Amino acid sequence: MLIYLIFIVAVILCATLCWFYSDKVFFLIPLFIPFYFLHINFFGVDISPVELALIIFLITFFFRFKDFYNKKIQEIIQNKLPEYFWAILFLLVGGFLSVIFSDNFLSSLHALFAWFIEPILVFISGIKILSSTNPVRDPVRNIVSNGTKNKETFLRLLFLSYTLILTTSLIYFVLDIKDNGRLSGFYNSPNFLVMVLEIFLPIVVAFLFFRKNAFWQGLLFFLIIIASMVVFISTQSFGGALAIAAAGFWMLFFVSLKKRPATFYFAAILTGLCLFLFFIAVFNSGKIDRFLVGSSQSSINSRLPIWKASLNVLKNNWVLGIGPNSFLNEFHLKQKELGLDLDFLVVPQPHNIYLAFWLEGGVLGLVGFLWIVKNAFKNLIDKLKLENQKDLRWLAIGLGGSLMAILVHGFFDTPYFKIDLAYYFWVIILLIKIL
């Protein structure tokens, strides 16, 4: 009974803080979002305290800054459509239609809110708080906060969040706590850990190589990169290796060999060493041997029947999809129909981000996702061309690398359909938007 009382008091305290300081609570989201998986049983219902706190924040933020939302709605009515409007509309409409016709309505509805609506609302609230051209006036405390300072604070806390994840993963590495010989940290799969690494690592690399830093700053970020490589190699993820390689190519494209030869060669040597050590670790683990002999336990060979079953599910549901968080049941039904004998697999997603968006949001959801990505890259390229944006060029290059990593790894996994991964995706879009 005491735990329930503590939980209720915590909810009241959270609501109070969000009401009076929601613009400050926004900066705490990066620190808590990695721990969304922690649940408590509240009178027979599993509740994620982090997700509940996020919902409370979004509700209070909406009421405190309703003038901001009213202004945006008026602009939409006047046909002054904000950027990403149609793409987000396609994504949400596709998701809602998919939920309505889903065989698992309540589960799909919760997933729709957790994976789409909540992170999109965080994206919108972030535009209000972080945009340097749109300072925040707090209607409760009647103060104005500076958007540029807020942006710097948010980036620092985002880096701190990654440092906590990295430090925890290193502790698991030192204690040799692994999942079938692969490092997963506090995540339930090494693939989830590497999908977080590949989002942050390009930004950290860009900070080191594309920004003028003090000596101790440079040393700190160099050590973070080395630690990230140790963790990355220990995950033994082929998809992660391809994703990080793609991000590296994107970033090296912006390095001028004539102007910065030391940066180019050092980055190339560091990348080559990382990949060399990765393949040694993978070879010693037997992953390459299992792939060459066609073992069903190899990463790629285990995915082939999953993709086959996914495409067959999609064949009969290509317009509306099957609804968010409905893939596991459909997969087991389809694999039996195809005689694949894969009952031993727990497959919550089809190991392909494009198939996942199509299945979970219908064709409108897939179009919306691709449209968002297209707009993001267009924004990045336009801003990288601006001479007066050199101070933030490093961040734009890093964000492009992160987005590239998501898209490449998305061919082999689903680096979106978890609350933290969905949040990180929309944070990337948010930072690109406000650069």
Both 246 and 334 in one domain: the answer is yes
At 293, is the pLDDT very low, low, confident or very high (cuts 50, 70, 90)?
Answer: very low
Both 88 and 141 in one domain: the answer is yes
Q: Which of 10-24, 137-151, 195-209, 385-399 has the lowest mean pLDDT?
A: 137-151
Q: Is residue 325 part of a domain?
A: yes
Helix or strand run (H / E) with residue 138? strand 136-138
How do beta strands 40-42 and 45-47 pair?
Answer: antiparallel
Both 124 and 236 in one domain: the answer is yes
pTM above 0.85, yes or no: yes
42 DSSP β-pair partners: 45
Q: Is residue 72 part of a domain?
A: no
Q: Is residue 18 part of a domain?
A: yes
- With tokens 């998501």, the residue in question is 406
Q: What is the token pair recorded at 70?
A: 């009213």
14, 30, 64 - which closes a domain: 64
- Count how many residues are written for the chain: 435
- Residue 268's identity, in one-letter code, is A
Contact between residue 306 and residue 345 where contact means Cβ atoms under 8 Å apart? yes
Nearest to 328 by CA among 348, 305, 353, 355: 348
Q: Is residue 75 part of a domain?
A: no
Q: What is the mean pLDDT of residues 249-274?
A: 66
Check residues 353 and 133 and name the one with the higher pLDDT.
353
Check residues 78 and 356 and name the one with the higher pLDDT.
356
Give how far the C-alpha of residue 237 lies from the chain's centroid of Cα atoms, to the nearest Å: 17
Contact between residue 358 and residue 326 where contact means Cβ atoms under 8 Å apart? no
Q: Is residue 71 part of a domain?
A: no
Contact between residue 404 and residue 247 where contact means Cβ atoms under 8 Å apart? yes
Through-space distance between the first and last CA atoms of the chain, rounded to whole angstroms: 48
Predicted pLDDT at 141 = 46
At 142, is the pLDDT very low, low, confident or very high (cuts 50, 70, 90)?
Answer: very low
Torsion of CA 24, 30, 34, 37, to 10 degrees: 30
144 DSSP β-pair partners: 137
Nearest to 352 by CA among 283, 421, 424, 303: 303
Give how far the C-alpha of residue 27 lies from the chain's centroid of Cα atoms, to the nearest Å: 17
| pLDDT mean across residues, the chain | 81
Predicted pLDDT at 287 = 57
pLDDT at 317 over 90: no
Predicted pLDDT at 119 = 93
CA 234/CA 380 separation, integer angstroms: 32
Q: Is residue 377 part of a domain?
A: yes
At 257, is the pLDDT very low, low, confident or very high (cuts 50, 70, 90)?
Answer: very low
CA 339/CA 118 separation, integer angstroms: 38
Q: Is residue 73 part of a domain?
A: no
Q: Is residue 37 part of a domain?
A: yes
Q: What is the token pair recorded at 71?
A: 């202004």
The domain of 11 spans: 1-64
At 140, is the pLDDT very low, low, confident or very high (cuts 50, 70, 90)?
Answer: very low
Q: What is the token pair recorded at 166?
A: 């990295």
- Residue 60's identity, in one-letter code, is T
Q: What is the mean pLDDT of residues 353-367?
A: 94
CA 221/CA 141 separation, integer angstroms: 37
* Tally of domains in the chain: 2
At 167, is the pLDDT very low, low, confident or very high (cuts 50, 70, 90)?
Answer: very high
Predicted pLDDT at 213 = 73
Contact between residue 170 and residue 183 where contact means Cβ atoms under 8 Å apart? no
Both 56 and 11 in one domain: the answer is yes
